[in-house]
Structure 1
Amino acid sequence: MTQWTFGNATLHIVQGDLTQMETDAVVNAANSRLAGGGGVDGAIHRAAGHQRLQRACREIIEEIGELPTGQAVVTPGFSLPAKYIIHTVGPIWRGGSENEPQLLADAYDNSLRKATEHGIKTVAFPAISCGVYGFPPDRAAQIALSRLADGLRQGLVCEAFMVLRGEASYKTWLDAARDTLS
């Protein structure tokens, strides 16, 4: 684990399993229907308890229709160690010409805002949009780390964790952190 300090707040970059994080909240890289799926989304649904989480997600979707890209909503964490799940929709990478960088920044910013609204002090993030949505990990890392650093400086949360699967992903994010945060 590597960490950076911003005033009284800390950003950690760790290699591990997001569903095992003992933070106040974990962030789910969700789809716009909050329907569960593969990757991080599927893992969170399985670990939280698929039926209870799906029921909570369906209630939200019945009210709002769908969750727009870059926005965020909160559900209980159910069977996760985390008390809450912040669901956000990252952009699908289409070459960068369809506002994808700003939408990714919005996903991190709005997740941090939801954390603040719910009194969440510690939150763990996945690499939003870097899986099947195809966002280039090195570009995503620069955007995400810059947004998390700003949120920590503003005191939106006390600790943010970037939780990455695999050595290659971990190294990509560490390299980006050294470039972006130093």
Structure 2
Amino acid sequence: MNYECIQGDISQQNNIDAVVNAANAELQTGGGVAGAIHRAAGPELTEATRPLAPIEPGQAVITEAFNLPNDYVIHCLGPVYGKDEPSDELLADCYRNALELTEKYKIKSIAFPAISTGAFGFPFEQATKIALDTLAGHVSTLSHLKTIRFVLFSDKDYQRYQHALEQFS
């Protein structure tokens, strides 16, 4: 498996088959990642997600990517830290469920944001460890996925994720 970490905008990942949306339960435009993805994808994304909502913490659903440079958007609802319990398990479910969709749709590359670390308040280091451990535990079961990219918006988050990824490999 090829792991990458970049600083950038998750809605501008030109060479990735699927991007992960850190979605809200109603799968609608929001702030942060959800806002960036919905704005870039266009109003068709909102229409496509409407019949799939609401989703529960840990759940993942997939749609076409519309005006994004990708084939798919995988929408994951991460847990709100301190509210949705067990938060560690629900966050791991987001990553596991996204990976299951990559297998079902024969997706070769995926880009993840740092799910639940923004407005949902999950401690960054803890969320990063859960993400990396969960992905490492499941990639051997996948026959299509070849690249996992982590896309962090801020330089600080990029530096922290890159450091965690270096320690992990």
The reply to whether residue 36 of structure 1 matches residue 23 of structure 2 is no
TM-score scaled by structure 1?
A: 0.87
Please name the residue that 1:27 is paired with: 20
Q: 2:46 aligns with which of 41, 48, 54?
A: 54
What is the CA distance between 1:149 and its match in structure 2?
2.1
Would you say 1:80 and 2:73 are equivalent positions?
no
- Cα-Cα RMSD: 1.5
**1:58-137 correspondence to structure 2 within 5 Å:** 58-61=50-53, 66-94=54-82, 98-137=85-124
Which consecutive residues of structure 2, in runs of 5 or more, have no partner in the other structure? none
Structure 2 match to 1:147: 134
SS at 2:11 equivalent = helix
CA contact (8 A) 1:142 1:177 kept: no
Q: CA deviation at 1:68?
A: 0.9
SS in structure 1 at match of 2:45: helix
Structure 1 residue matching 2:27: 3-state secondary structure: coil
Does the 8 Å contact 2:79/2:85 carry over to 1? no
Q: Is the 8 A contact 1:91 1:129 kept in 2?
A: yes
Q: Equivalent residue of 2:58, what SS?
A: coil
Please say which of residues 119-128 and 152-161 is displaced more in the overlay. 152-161
Structure 1, 19-28 or 152-161: larger mean CA deviation = 152-161
Relative to the length of structure 2, the TM-score reads 0.93
Shift of 1:166: 1.6
- Tell me the residue number matched to 1:16: 8
Report the number of matched residues. 167
Q: Which amino acid aligns with 1:53?
A: L
**Equivalent pairs: percent with the same residue?**
43
